[in-house]
Structure 1
């Protein structure tokens, strides 16, 4: 059982870093909630331990973009069942559609991932079940030229963590630590 704030902050950072790079990590797909209480599972794509910023990919046409732009409060919930550890993170989100970070994330994606940004925008209504993809890309990897129009729909959701709630479950007694900025405090589970 971790017993110092430094050890717990390091544990949080290591779990987020692993979650961003290891698709088998339970932290890889946390629940992300916007200020309108809408929650969804998203893939954690990056974590910057210096700035405590999370990076997710999103569609610039998604309804959550307008919500975040009007109220940037974000909640992120991750649970590691094997470790019996819950992370609740709160912070400010921002949508980024241009710049080096977006270009870099786009270039690191393969064309199967990029094709998701070619079709209908998230939440668009359909008369039949649909992936939203153009028919010619169902199960097919588009070429580099074919995904060029998708780039304008690709965006990053960056979440600056302002508060981290670390909750460890144990039959000998749960432990919980809350970090607001760099300050840690023990709180009752």
Structure 2
């Protein structure tokens, strides 16, 4: 059990780094909520411990993009059931559709993952069940040339974390701390 806020801060950084790099991490797919309480599960792609920034991939045509541009407040919730640790992060989001970081994230993605940005925009109406993908790409990995139009729909959601509510469940007694990049305090569970 941790006794200092520095130990809690280190635990948070370790968990978020693992969540971003290990797809089997229990915190790999946290819930992300915009200020209007519209929540969805997203894949955590990166965590920068120096700037306390989370990186997610998104579609520029997604309704959450407009929601974030209207009100940048974001909440992220991740839970590790086996460890009994919940992280509730609050911060501000920003959408980046161009630039070196976006180009690098696009380059790191596989063509199979990139094809998601070829289809209809998220939330588009359909007459029946659909993946939204063009028919020729259902279950098929497109080539680089076929993906050129997809790049224009790809963007990053960057969440600059302001505070993290760390909650540890334990039969010996729960622990909870509210931490910021440079400070924090213990609080009652």
Kindly provide the CA deviation profile for residues 17-54 of structure 1, in whole angstroms up to 9, marking residues without a partner as x.
01000000011000000011000000000000100000
Equivalence map 1:150-189=2 (5 Å): 150-189=150-189
- Please give the alpha-carbon distance, in whole angstroms, between the structure 1 residues aligned to 2:18 and 2:43: 12
Task: Tell me how far 1:180 sits from its aligned partner.
Answer: 3.2
1:92 has 2:86 as partner: no
Task: Tell me how far 1:183 sits from its aligned partner.
Answer: 1.2
The aligned counterpart of 1:38 is 38
Would the aligned equivalents of 2:115 and 2:137 in 1 still touch at CA under 8 Å? yes
The aligned counterpart of 1:140 is 140
Secondary structure of 2:188's counterpart equals: coil
Secondary structure of 1:129's counterpart equals: coil
Kindly provide the CA deviation profile for residues 66-108 of structure 1, in whole angstroms up to 9, marking residues without a partner as x.
0000100000000000100000000000000000000000000
Secondary structure of 1:28's counterpart equals: coil
1:75 has 2:97 as partner: no
Secondary structure of 1:128's counterpart equals: coil
1:105 has 2:105 as partner: yes
The aligned counterpart of 1:124 is 124
- Please give the alpha-carbon distance, in whole angstroms, between the structure 2 residues aligned to 1:100 and 1:130: 33
- Please give the alpha-carbon distance, in whole angstroms, between the structure 2 residues aligned to 1:49 and 1:25: 17
Secondary structure of 1:178's counterpart equals: strand
Secondary structure of 2:92's counterpart equals: strand
- TM-score normalised by length of structure 2: 0.99
CA RMSD of aligned residues (A): 0.6
Secondary structure of 1:69's counterpart equals: helix
1:15 has 2:8 as partner: no
- Please give the alpha-carbon distance, in whole angstroms, between the structure 1 residues aligned to 2:125 and 2:10: 44
Secondary structure of 2:12's counterpart equals: helix
- Please give the alpha-carbon distance, in whole angstroms, between the structure 2 residues aligned to 1:186 and 1:146: 53
Secondary structure of 2:146's counterpart equals: coil
Secondary structure of 1:158's counterpart equals: strand
- Please give the alpha-carbon distance, in whole angstroms, between the structure 2 residues aligned to 1:105 and 1:48: 14
